[in-house]
Amino acid sequence: MKPAPYGIMAAFRTEESYLAALRAVELAGFRRVETFTPYDVEAEEEVLRRRATPMGWIMLAAALVGGGGAFLMQWYAARAYGIDVGGRPVDSWPAFVPVTFELTVLTAALTGVAALMLLCGLPRLDHPVFSDRRFRRASQDRFFICIRADGPGFDGEGARAALVRAAPESIEEVRA
Amino acid sequence: MRPTEPTSADSLELAAPGQTLESVSRDISAIPLQRPHPRFWWLGFAVSFLGMMVLFASLAWILIKGVGVWGINIPVAWGFAIINFVWWIGIGHAGTFISAILLLLHQEWRTSINRFTEAMTLFAVACAGIYPLMHLGRPQFFFWLLPYPDTMGLWPQFRSPLVWDVFAVSTYATVSLVFWYVGLLPDLATMRDRAEGLGRRRIYGLMSLGWRGDGAHWHHYRKLYILLAGLAAPLVVSVHSIVGMDFAIAILPGWHSAIFPPYFVAGAIFSGFSMVLTLIIPLRAVYGLQGMVTARHLDLMAKVMMAMGWIVAYGYFGEFFTAWRSGVIFDRYVALNRVVGPYAPYFWALMACNIAAPQFLWSKRLRQNPISLWVVAFCVNVGMWIERFVIVITSLHRDFMPSAWGMYHATFWDYSTFLGTIGLFASLLFLFIRFLPMISMTEMRALVTAKEGKS
């Protein structure tokens, strides 16, 4: 018996035809649909009804931890090694603002990139779609839609038919 | 049309007509991928590389003999090291300004120049970082500036702008690098897919971290990129404000002024834009990128440069006005000493380069002529270096007590270190052009599609 494929993938030449096809595939009821585009097509997220990315919350949490930690560190340092300047308060917080700000930004930015890697499952050395000859154009000038074979209610003929109706440039099976 | 979009009365375009997804990817990626690489690249790189060797030799000599080989002494202990540090950091500001602030303001014209200017930022910050490190005198103890578990329970002095500087510059370097690399990821994937030869495909593939343009990834990526821009925007302002405070918090006449932080930020963006123009005008000519970095881009950058020039001019005025208005004789003397003192030629050169030269750009013809624009931008680069010279040297060399006055003379090693960092900067830029796409293909693709849709 033939091993189950990774999915059925169609290539489109323009953003409009790709979006139209994506809407059709979505209406046809396929739930595990992957898209590959040469740039960020924002309209796609509405069609596929993606859940909001947690990126903002992750970075906010990191910023609070980084900023809070930086401030506490300075406050602690000022007390642990107090310098009395004419009786002025030792924990002179306004002077701690710049370092607090810098470390807030630094923590948020680095955490954001780490979160991107985790959420996307990158870095990754290989992926089934890379075995498709056409896929080299996904990073250049073609828009791809892949209906995953492991989705609920997947049938190869139905998926192929749904994609063919959208008049793609080409359509092929992707090996797992 | 969005309200922030400039109403372009002129018909100048951001991308030449006829550009498609395919042509954008092909043309931009061809520059790093072509074999053999053009002769001028080798020539330019050879000269820059020589400059970099001069830097290494100078640094080695400074490490052997100590910072005394520079012309620094009391009263002028800062000298070229701090002048060059501030100059390079200032140049580094255009990158993030163009990438982050113009992104948040939906200024689409940033698209074809942001990658290059971000790279320029990174390299300028790398050059800048060398100076304070070497100026420490004992660079092996640089970690004393960082909070680390010291057995004697010592901490850095968190009230000192010099410690703020360590945090600001290192954060700026790191965040700029991250922002640049995240922006580069989809382009590295394009490079992987267009490169010939397994070796190069593997290297670009590894660098792209396996990016495949998955819609689910773009979904997170978009949010991350805009948030990074949002973080980088106040960061730009904070970095040069803190550099300004290095000066302003000292009690020295000529430095102790509340105008310094904003005036330094404007100066930084002024010098950054002038450096972008200085570099991009020859680059677009030799690589034939006029279809992507168009006359409209040059025109807009020239306008930003002029606007920043006026803010800087206001800063100069503010310095003189407060010196006079304060009635403090030391402040008044510093102002007078700048204009007619032993370093007066520097001051007048500064006025010519930073205030007079940009006024030529009022003329649309001169603004859109690459050669005249390049000359003005070059003058501003020189002028911004002189500005830091005037601020550092004339304030320090005659402060309060005439018995403590002195003169500053740069030595051979001052000049060789400066020349050397220019060599390092140029070498890094040449390597960047050689191996990475200098215009964001991803953003250009989106721009080209959006344009087609409109017409």
pLDDT tens, residue by residue, A41-85:
888 888 888 888 999 999 999 999 999 999 999 999 998 888 888
The verdict on A11 and A40 lying in the same domain is: yes
Contact B224 A42 (CB under 8 A): no
Residue B14 lies in a domain: no
What's the confidence (pLDDT) of residue A47? 85
What's the confidence (pLDDT) of residue B7? 41
User: In which domain, by residue range, is A151 found?
Assistant: 7-52+128-174
Q: B412-435 and B21-33 are packed helices; what angle lies between their axes, rounded to 10 degrees?
A: 130
**How many angstroms separate the Cα of A159 from the Cα of each of A19, A29, A130, A131?**
17, 10, 20, 20
What's the confidence (pLDDT) of residue B6? 43
| Assigned token pair, B40 | 């001028």
Residues of chain B whose pLDDT is less than 70?
A: 1-17, 451-455
Contact B449 A15 (CB under 8 A): yes
Residue A2 lies in a domain: no
Domain tally for chain A?
Answer: 2
Instruction: Please name which of A130, A126, A127, A139 lies closest in space to residue A40, comparing C-alpha atoms.
Output: A139
CB A25 within 8 A of CB A148: no
What's the confidence (pLDDT) of residue A92? 87
Contacts of B409 (CB under 8 A, 6+ apart): B71
Q: How far apart are CA B230 and CA B445, in angstroms?
A: 23
Domain boundary among the residues A96, A120, A144 is at: A120
Residue A166 lies in a domain: yes
Average pLDDT, chain A: 89
The verdict on A71 and A115 lying in the same domain is: yes
User: Which residues in chain B touch residue A120, judged by CB atoms under 8 angstroms apart?
Assistant: 214, 216-217, 220-221
Measured between CB atoms, does A34 come within 8 Å of chain B? yes
Q: How far apart are CA B153 and CA B151, in angstroms?
A: 5
Q: How far apart are CA B205 and CA A42, in angstroms?
A: 25
Residue A59 lies in a domain: no
Residue A97 lies in a domain: yes
Residue B16 lies in a domain: no
Contact A141 B443 (CB under 8 A): no
Residue A60 lies in a domain: no
Domain tally for chain B?
Answer: 1
Vertex A67, ends A61 and A70: CA angle to 5°?
Answer: 135
Condensed to tens digits (0 to 9), the pLDDT of residues B344-364 reads: 999 999 999 999 999 999 999
Q: How far apart are CA B347 and CA B355, in angstroms?
A: 11
The verdict on A73 and A114 lying in the same domain is: yes
| Assigned token pair, B280 | 């991009």
What's the confidence (pLDDT) of residue A2? 67
Residue A57 lies in a domain: no
| Mutation for A interface: B33, B179, B190, B214, most A CBs within 10 A | B214
Condensed to tens digits (0 to 9), the pLDDT of residues B204-254 reads: 999 999 999 898 999 999 999 999 999 999 999 999 999 999 999 999 999
- The sheet that has A7-12: what strands, in order across it? A33-36, A143-148, A7-12, A170-174
Residue A108 lies in a domain: yes
User: In which domain, by residue range, is B107 found?
Assistant: 21-454
What's the confidence (pLDDT) of residue B16? 66
Residue B11 lies in a domain: no
What's the confidence (pLDDT) of residue B358? 94
Contact B446 A36 (CB under 8 A): no
